[in-house]
Chain A
Amino acid sequence: MSDSQSDAFKTYARKCGIVFGAVACVTLVMVATAYAPIQNRAVAIGLVLGAASVNAVLVASYLMHLISEKRTIYTVLVFTAIFFVGLMGLSIWATNDVPAVMGR
Chain B
Amino acid sequence: MDIPYTVQPRPDTGVYNAKVGMWLFLASEVMLFGGLFSSYILLRVAAAPGTWPTGWLSVPLGTINTLILALSAVTTLLAWAACKASMFDRYKLFMGLTLVLALVFISIKGYEYSDKFRHYEVVLTDGRIADGHLVARNDKEVVLKGRYVQNHAQLMNGRDPHAKGHEEIRIETAQIKKIGNYAPAHNTFTAIYFVLTGLHGLHVLGGMVVFAYLWGPGSRMWKMEPDRFTNRVEVAGLFWHFVDLVWIFLFPVLYLT
Interface residues of A (CB under 8 A from B): 1, 5-6, 8-9, 12-13, 16-17, 19-20, 23-24, 27-28, 30-31, 34, 44-45, 48-49, 51-52, 55-56, 59-60, 63-64, 70-73, 76-77, 79-80, 83-84, 87-88, 90-92, 94-95, 98, 102-104
Residue B213 interfacial (CB < 8 Å) = no
Q: B residues engaging A (CB < 8 A)?
A: 13-15, 19-20, 23-24, 27, 30-31, 34-35, 37-38, 41-42, 45-49, 51, 59, 63, 66-67, 70-71, 73-74, 77-78, 81-82, 84-87, 90, 238, 241-242, 244-245, 248-249, 251-253, 256-257
Residues of A with C-beta under 8 A to B244: 59, 63
Residue in B34, B46, B87 whose CB lies within 8 Å of A104: B46
Of A20, A28, A76, which is within 8 A of B74 by CB?
A20
With A31-B63, A56-B245 given, is the CB distance from A16 to B74 under 8 Å? yes
Query: Which of B14, B34, B82 meets A72, CB within 8 Å?
Result: B14
Q: Is the CB of B41 within 8 A of A92?
A: yes
Instruction: List 10 other contacts, CB 8 Å, given A9-B90, A24-B70, A102-B46.
Output: A24-B67, A49-B257, A60-B245, A72-B20, A73-B19, A80-B30, A83-B31, A95-B41, A103-B47, A104-B45
- 14 A-B residue pairs with CB within 8 Å: A27-B70, A31-B256, A48-B252, A52-B251, A56-B249, A60-B245, A63-B244, A72-B13, A72-B20, A76-B27, A80-B27, A87-B38, A98-B42, A98-B45
Q: How far is the CA of A102 from the CA of B244 in the complex (A)?
A: 35
Query: In the complex, what's the smallest C-beta–C-beta distance from B50 to chain A, in angstroms?
Result: 9
Q: Are B249 and A77 in contact (CB under 8 A)?
A: no
